[in-house]
Amino acid sequence: MNNTVQNTEKNLVEVRDLQEYFPIRTGLFKKTMLKAVDGVNFSIKPGETLGLVGESGCGKTTVGRTLLRLYKPTGGQIFFDGNEVTDKNMQNYRKEMQMVFQDPYSSLDPRMTVEDIIGEPLDVHKLYKSKGERRDKILELMGLVGLNAEHATRYVHEFSGGQRQRIGIARALAVNPRFIVCDEPVSALDVSIQAQVINMFEELQEKLGVAYLFIAHDLLVVHHISDRIAVMYLGRIVETADADELNESPIHPYTLSLLSAVPIPDPNTARAQKRIILEGDVPSPLNMPSGCAFRTRCRYATEQCAKECPPLTDRGNGHLVACWCK
């Protein structure tokens, strides 16, 4: 497995053939494996943002959680800074990898003050010498995410959605991580607040050089914040490319229809937009089609697509596509 290590050196995070299967009871004694993530590969460089998009149920959240070992991976490897992350050494890497959750209402303890919430990771990792230092650190973090010092003693219910998300981000930043998994961090927020939080993510990246895995379903938001974008469909990555490249010249038929379906907030463009409307629904992950998972909704599907699953191949400039098309 060491044959590709020279490649991992430049990458902060690298994921190889990640698998996450959940056993689902389908009968009294029968269990079926739900393949939520089935062979995912990607890498993230220091200070880079990789956007992960896909529809609900495609496994994008599972990728984020498995990456941080909130779920035990069924198979595959995760490398951080060139070293493989395992169950045993994960604790060391908790300081390097953090997470911001989607729902700022349920991911913060209502019985803790803001100070305690942000201070908890500092306590766990013993990152201060005196009480005064702990408090200074907390106030510094609060300033970093745009919260006032007088908010420190308040409880979560006193804050609005955008402010709660800021608390969640401050908590993630407390241990000085180099990598943060952001799982739909702006989708629960009002439109007028989204921009504040997106800007803050970008500013923090400039200031601290953290790398993000930015999981979201809003393609315009992902395009705005990401350097590169990976598109997932039913547990597999179907296309990865530079953000602009992916939006200008998508190759995979799923990416094409996904991008054409995005409602553009501009009446003239919206009226002229040619939508590729996909037939039908996403198949159940319990009953995956053979070969390429997208073939049941793909208008270019051929016999080959039913037989074999297409591998991710490079189409130049690091634009990876998993499709049998040209």
- Residues contributing to the site for other proteins (CB under 8 A): 55-56, 160, 162-163, 190-196, 198-199, 202, 217, 219-221, 223-224, 243-244, 257-258, 260-271, 273, 275, 277-278, 281-282
Sign of the CA dihedral running 166, 171, 176, 178: negative
The smaller minimum CB distance to other proteins, of residues 13 and 145, is found at 145
Instruction: Quote helix, strand, coil % in the chain, to nearest 5.
Output: 40, 20, 40
The smaller minimum CB distance to other proteins, of residues 160 and 290, is found at 160
Tell the smallest beta-carbon distance from residue 163 to other proteins (Å): 7
Tell the smallest beta-carbon distance from residue 197 to other proteins (Å): 8
Tell the smallest beta-carbon distance from residue 284 to other proteins (Å): 9
Tell the smallest beta-carbon distance from residue 84 to other proteins (Å): 35
The smaller minimum CB distance to other proteins, of residues 132 and 267, is found at 267
5-29 b/e (C-beta count within 10 Å ≥ 16 → b): eeebeebbbbbbebbbbbeeeeeee
| Residue whose C-alpha is closest to residue 198's, from 224, 172, 217 | 224
Contacts (Cβ under 8 Å, ≥6 apart) of 121 = 98, 127, 171, 174, 175
Tell the smallest beta-carbon distance from residue 125 to other proteins (Å): 32
The smaller minimum CB distance to other proteins, of residues 7 and 160, is found at 160
Rounded to whole angstroms, how far apart are CA atoms 135 and 14? 35
Tell the smallest beta-carbon distance from residue 127 to other proteins (Å): 31
Rounded to whole angstroms, how far apart are CA atoms 24 and 316? 40
What's the alpha-carbon Rg for the chain, to the nearest Å? 21
Number of neighbouring beta carbons within 10 Å of residue 301: 18
The smaller minimum CB distance to other proteins, of residues 12 and 204, is found at 204
The smaller minimum CB distance to other proteins, of residues 7 and 269, is found at 269
